[in-house]
Amino acid sequence: MAYQVDCSEGDGFMIKSEDEQEVVEHVKAHAKEKHDMDLSDDEARDMIQ
């Protein structure tokens, strides 16, 4: 099963991987770097489609 997140801010960020934790880490890093947001693992996991 692939895990995927598309950024809802319209900046073109998308991550897709078979590894859920990898997706969570990339989403958290993107949120911090591009949107100055600190997400918990659970918040990032809730964004997975």
Can you give the residue ranges of every domain in the chain?
Answer: 3-46
Q: Tens-digit pLDDT profile for the chain (49 aa)?
A: 899 999 988 899 999 999 999 999 999 999 999 999 999 999 999 999 9
Tell me which amino acid residue 46 is: D
Give the N- to C-terminal CA distance of the chain in Å, as an integer: 11
Report the alpha-carbon distance of residue 47 to residue 16 in Å, rounded: 12
Q: What global pTM score does this model have?
A: 0.91
Q: What are phi and psi of 41, to 5 degrees?
A: -60, -40
